[in-house]
Structure 1
Amino acid sequence: MAPGLKETALRAAKAAGLFGFARRLTADRLRILCYHGIWLAEGQPNPFNFLYMQPGRFARRLDLLRAWGYPVLPLGEALQRLDHGTLPPAAVAITIDDGWYGSYRHMVPELVRRGLPATIYLTTYHAEKQTAVFGVALQYLLQTGPQRTLDCARLPLPFGGRVDLDDATAREEVQAAIRDHAAAHLDAAQHDNLLGSVAEALGTDWPAIRDGRFFHLMSLDEAAQCAAQGIDFQLHTHRHRVTAGGKPCIAEEIAANRARLAAVTATAATHFCYPSGEWEPEHLPHLRAAGVVSATTTDNGLCAPGHERLALPRILDGDRVSELEFEAELSGFMEIKRLLAPRARRKTTAPRPT
């Protein structure tokens, strides 16, 4: 549905009292909100809807939760109470994926200021290395660089050619080729150097991006500071992956992730978020064997009592999600719409921090 028509339809549904009806009808379901990071490039357009949000928009969302009367609970408590049938009506849990530096700088202070609990699913490789998340930074450079032709011969790459970056297909192909080369042959420091070379070739100020940590995760020390303020840290794998070389590696990734989280918080990490929302039924036995008690996806929806705890849906909020759409999701109106038309249930794949 076109955005304008969707907004008109939602306004009509709200005016007819359907949001309130849906909220009462779905009162026993848990709303798990899903966020990622905060857009730090002030004055520059944000090309990532679900990956980054403007800081003021996130703060406004938190205020709306209170204004609309949605009780916010810690994730672990909310899931226990969902199991026991003691969940407050239309309860919410806030989850934040990846652990971006912008989350440390903006999200955590806003949460602490309001006394709201939240869970950050921290992927630890880039938190440890403190280099830019290569895949996301590369996508940004290729998509927004002032110079719209990339001369690969000017870069330390095993291939040449000139690429028209305004051609989406060509841009995606060269992005994949650069990413694959870096993953196979370069270490973390060399990843950063290659990003600098790409930025220079495209006329982008890489030192400003790097020093501003636009595409960095928070450090483990910064995560520990957040944990000391009451933020819950949980599992998101070490390298943001569940396969390596075409083979499952979820058990090893959880073990490495959990070991590093032990330095951040004394709380046992038993809750998990699938990287990029990629999950399959065969993952569940591996999670149970690793002592994981819940796992969230990027499938849209509310959590009903009895829902499989290792495949929990969430409400994905984004920078281009209107307040009316946000209210429609929270109220349960969109959930009822999805239940009545199952084909409308949308799975959103989160961007991959690699």
Structure 2
Amino acid sequence: MIIGNVLLSLSLGAALLACYYYFLAARGQQSVLKYARWATMALALLVVLTSTYLMALILSNQFQVKYIWENSSSTLPLFYKVSSFWGGQAGSILLWLTWGVLYSVVLSTVFQHDRAVGYEAHTMFFMTAVQLFPLVMLMYGSPFSTTADVPFEGNGLNPLLQDPYMVIHPPILFLGFAGLTTAYAFAMAALWKRDYSGWVLRAWPWTLVGWGFLGLGLSIGGFWAYRVLGWGGYWGWDPVENSSLVPWLLGGALVHGLITQKTRGRFVRWNLFLALATFVAVLYSTFLTRSGVLADFSVHTFGESPLMPIMVTSLIVYGGAALALYATRFREIPAGPDVFKSLLSRDFTSLVALIVFIFMAAAV
């Protein structure tokens, strides 16, 4: 549908504009910060309108839209029609984008009431830049593509997905993924600004929220898998299940590390690394789920996708930028006091907990 594609194009334009103005503001041109905020609000409004438009098309059985024809039908109950929004590749990406831009708006609003000036432009630059990834994927694989003919009926939602948990599991999971993006944005801003302590108080509550939602989503997914025959019980060690667990484990290490840095000034280098690694793990999970590389090994993955080059590029760009900035700043990041002086200290115990989380993530 033309309207949907126009909304996506305008969203991409708003995101690029917001990135541009936030970059200028971070370089010292504070007068353009208001334009960046307006662009962020416009981006959120456009993405919400895009999601609302797709939902309206689904509920009105517009089967000439290929995505709706593939994932919905006129006989589906209302709540399964709603969940068909995220039943396919493009819709779930749009859901992730929607949560991401809403997080951005709330974060921007919080910054405007933060008396400690200096973090907004740097953090929001990265927060907005991250939204370019799902936007580009949606531009390439639009949920508004139409079929040559107008089908009388849709294929319906996959029978395995016609479950009440389908209504809540993906939205909560993507709330977690989008929430952990904030930790990446704060850490990149801290490295850019060379402020290795000021980001912690701001990032911790956002990280906790994202980690909590991701954990809740994984738990709901476990109960759902237990209900469905052939999904391996609560946890079947499916590659896609594992790929979602890794960000949660790294996020758990980050949450505990941030608490320790906030209270006792420890783990400065660890926390920056974990914030970056957690988001890269989210991107890698997205790649494994959506690229089709695990189509023969997992019941959770989508089929082969033409979006693979975009996903690989995103891993290289966002992961490479994080690695380069972290490596460049590493020597000047405070190492902190030696936690090995006392093996019975709280700091040493906290370090062991961090290592256990990281080891489990690596093992998975």
- Normalising by structure 1, we get a TM-score of 0.28
Higher helix share: 2
- Normalising by structure 2, we get a TM-score of 0.28
- Larger RCO: 1 or 2 (CA < 8 Å, sep 6+): 1
Higher strand share: 1
